[in-house]
Amino acid sequence: NAGVTQTPKFQVLKTGQSMTLQCAQDMNHNSMYWYRQDPGMGLRLIYYSASEGTTDKGEVPNGYNVSRLNKREFSLRLESAAPSQTSVYFCASSEAGTGATEAFFGQGTRLTVV
């Protein structure tokens, strides 16, 4: 059981380049999330998808776009990378958007923008 799979695990971008972070879950979860983790700031929600076909902004959506491709997959796109987007990105999923169910996390993508 793979759980939540993120690709790539590491990436270095030049300022202005674009890229897409991929995320897939095999737990049949309805809700999926993208967080970024920065030292001393915990995890901050970028975007989430409560169910297939819907997406909503989180705390820090600027500079990002998302696509809920199907129930399994939720991608995060950086259109024009900036050094401020250097971070570790985590995808997560949960059974339903009830708040009572825990999130399952991928291993993370370490992104450096130079």
Partner 1 sequence: AQSVTQLGSHVSVSEGALVLLRCNYSSSVPPYLFWYVQYPNQGLQLLLKYTSAATLVKGINGFEAEFKKSETSFHLTKPSAHMSDAAEYFCAVSGHTGGFKTIFGAGTRLFVKA
Least gap, CB of 17 to partner 1 (angstroms): 24
- C-alpha 94/C-alpha 50 separation (Å) is 9
Q: Minimum CB separation from partner 1 for residue 60, in Å?
A: 12
76/74 Cα distance (integer angstroms): 7
Q: How far is the CB of 21 from partner 1 (least distance, A)?
A: 14
Distance (Å, whole) CA 10 – CA 46: 19
- Which residues contribute to the site for partner 1 (CB under 8 A)? 4, 31, 33, 35, 40-45, 48, 50, 56, 58, 90, 92, 97-100, 102-103, 105-108
Nearest to partner 1 of 55, 75 (CB atom): 55
* Closest CB to partner 1 among residues 1, 14: 1
Pair 17, 31: CB distance under 8 Å? no
In the bound state with partner 1, the residue whose beta carbon lies nearer, of 38 and 79, is 38
Confirm if 89 and 4 have CB atoms less than 8 A apart.
no
